Amino acid sequence: MSLLPATEAIVPYGSITMTPLVTVVVVNWNGLPLLRRCLPPVLAQRGVPYEVIVVDNGSSDGSLDWLRRLAATMAASPTAPPLRILASERNLGFAAGNNLAIRESQAPFIATLNNDAWPEPDCLAALVAAAESDPSIGSCAAQMVFASRPDVVNSAGIALDRAGIAWDREVGAARHPPGPATEVFGASAGAALYRRTMLDDVGLFAESFFMYLEDVDLAWRARLRQWQCVYVPAAVVRHLHSASAGEGSPFKLWHLGRNKLAVLVRCLPGRPLLRYGGAIIGYDLAATLLALLARQDASGLRGRWAALRCWRELATERRQIQSQRTATWNDVSAWIEPVPTPARVWQRFRHLRAVLARV
């Protein structure tokens, strides 16, 4: 059975006829208030030819009608970027929604953006400039700052440790001034730029993930194929953290639990999997137990059980991914941090909790 939904396309408007350099993709599900804040800055980017594709995942809150009106209102502008709307009859999730738009586009670069985020005017141009500086750069991470605290970093790319824990780099740090791009493990798909040739090489987002950690999985697969990722501090995006599903919600915890295990089974090479397997299992059991005791919530445990039940599918996916690996473990491990102490893990998320407590 095909995973593709029924779609409708609103053709590009305005008088721009050149092929866009970038396709900006925004996936939406019942996020009309978020779209009202997100899209105007997206449609006001400068310095680079681009188009915008909005994927609506079967919204019932009037999002699609509002998008149609927005397209009609802006059609009179000869300088507006092309806008297309892809409407699904059901909620495909973040991963498959982005994939749908990527397959519909032809641009050499794809920018993904959460509907609860909005870029500053030169964000897209800064990401493209960084990507064009080196053909081995497969992805670029924007500097995401908290919408409620734009002086505080929400994400500066993806960091990863040898216990299998992924988190947002520099969360809680003071906003970084514009500066040169620096290499990081991977990019958060909440605000990222991807090279199409990299996606053609390693594949798109894993649609079975639905949402959460699909960007970590993609970053892993890119690293295994020797693609670089850089963090671009000049590309700034303001973000309403977890506005779609809610920080700490059972929905989010279930998907994080399932997808974390899926990423490790699919992507971690055999030697480090054996070497760090004990630390990975220990930290994961501790995190699951803490959630049960502190929240009285077994969502993360149920998510992990859901991943274990799919072990045959995950084993097949692992064989395919690992058979295509060209990077050595030394190549990849340079970007993976040592096994942390429990106090260090807690410290990583302290700033996030502090900022969210003020919202």
**Residue 14 within a domain:** no
Confidence of residue 357 (pLDDT cuts 50, 70, 90): low
Mean pLDDT, residues 195-219: 97
In terms of domains, do 193 and 117 share one? Answer: yes
- Read off the pLDDT of residues 153-180 as tens digits, 9 standing for 90 and up: 999 999 998 888 899 999 999 999 999 9
CA angle 249, 35, 189 (to 5 degrees): 60
The predicted pLDDT at position 338 comes to 83
Query: What confidence score (pLDDT) does residue 171 get?
Result: 93
Do 197 and 262 share a domain, yes or no?
Answer: no
Residue at 120 is within a domain: yes
Residue 11 has pLDDT above 60, yes or no: no
139 and 284 share a domain? no
Q: What are phi and psi of 168, to 5 degrees?
A: -80, 120
pLDDT of residue 245: 55
pLDDT of residue 89: 92
- 281-289: list long-range contacts, CB under 8 Å, 24+ apart: 282/163, 283/163, 283/164, 283/165, 283/342, 283/345, 284/164, 284/260, 286/342, 288/257
Task: Label the pairing between strands 182-184 and 228-239.
Answer: antiparallel
In whole angstroms, what is the distance from residue 359 CA to residue 350 CA?
15
Domain annotation covers residue 4: no
Asked if residue 316 belongs to a domain, the reply is yes
Domain range enclosing 145: 22-239
What is the Cβ-side half-sphere exposure of residue 190, based on CA atoms within 13 angstroms?
A: 25
**Domain final residue, candidates 183, 218, 239:** 239
**Contact call for residues 217 and 209 (beta carbons, < 8 A):** yes
CATH number at residue 71: 3.90.550.10
Q: Are residues 96 and 231 in the same domain?
A: yes
Percentage of the chain modeled with pLDDT above 70: 87
Same domain, 90 and 207: yes
Dihedral angle at the C-alpha atoms of 207, 212, 216, 222, nearest 10 degrees?
A: 30
Look at residue 238 and tell me whether its pLDDT is greater than 80. yes
Position with higher pLDDT, 191 vs 303 = 191
Q: Residue 330: inside a domain, yes or no?
A: yes
User: CA 88 → CA 2, 55, 85, 310, distances in Å?
Assistant: 13, 7, 10, 27
Q: Which residues contact 15 (CB under 8 A, 6 or more apart)?
A: 78, 79
Mean pLDDT value of segment 97-105 = 97
Mean pLDDT of 330-355: 74
Q: Are residues 172 and 95 in the same domain?
A: yes
- The dihedral built from the CA positions of residue 255, 258, 261 and 262, taken in this order, carries a sign that is negative
pLDDT on residue 5: 46
Q: Determine the residue type at 265.
A: V
For residues 186-209, average pLDDT: 97
Lowest mean pLDDT among 189-203, 206-220, 271-285: 271-285
Question: 208 with 101, same domain?
Answer: yes
- Asked if residue 164 and residue 83 are part of one domain, the reply reads yes
Helix (H, G, I), strand (E, B) or coil at 109: strand
Residues 58 and 161 in one domain: yes
Pair 197, 56 in one domain: yes
Least confident stretch, 130-139, 177-186, 350-359: 350-359
Tell me which residue has tokens 């970590």.
216
pLDDT at site 173: 93
For position 275, what pLDDT does the model report?
Answer: 79
Confidence of residue 288 (pLDDT cuts 50, 70, 90): confident
Last residue of a domain, one of 209, 239, 269: 239
* C-alpha to C-alpha distance for 103 and 99, rounded to whole angstroms: 6
**pLDDT > 90? residue 124:** yes
> How sure is the predictor about 1, in pLDDT bands with cuts at 50, 70 and 90?
very low
- Interior/surface letters 10-29, b for 16+ CB within 10 angstroms, e for the rest: bebbeebeeebbbbbbbbbb
Across the chain, what does the average pLDDT equal? 88
Could you give the CA distance from residue 247 to residue 225 in angstroms, rounded to a whole number?
32
**Which residue would you say has higher pLDDT here, 1 or 175?**
175
CA distances 91 to 28, 32, 47, 61, 97, Å, are 9, 15, 34, 13, 8
* CA dist 27 → 76, 145, 206, 298, 325 (Å): 25, 20, 15, 29, 30
Regarding whether 254 and 201 lie in a shared domain, the answer is no
Residue 101 and residue 85: Cα distance in Å, rounded? Answer: 9
Examine residue 228 and state whether it is found in any structural domain, yes or no: yes
Distances (CA, A) of 324 to 269, 280, 329: 11, 24, 14
Among residues 239, 268, 294, which one ends one of the domains?
239
Whether 208 and 322 map to the same domain: the answer is no
Instruction: Dump pLDDT digits (tens) for 309-342.
Output: 989 999 999 999 999 999 999 899 888 888 767 6
- Classified as helix, coil or strand, 252 is helix
The tokens of 81 are what?
A: 């970027």
Structural domain includes residue 351: yes
pLDDT exceeds 80 at position 296 = no
Count of domains for the chain:
2
Q: Per-residue pLDDT for 148 more than 60?
A: yes
Distance of alpha carbon 338 from alpha carbon 200, whole angstroms: 31
- Cβ proximity of 126 and 169 under 8 Å: no
303 pLDDT higher than 90? no
- The per-residue pLDDT for 287 is 73
More confident residue, 73 or 248: 73
- 130's tokens: 């960084």
In a domain? residue 10? no
Lowest mean pLDDT of 70-84, 179-193, 229-243, 285-299, name the range. Answer: 285-299
Give me the mean pLDDT over the 296-305 stretch: 82
pLDDT tops 50 at residue 10: no
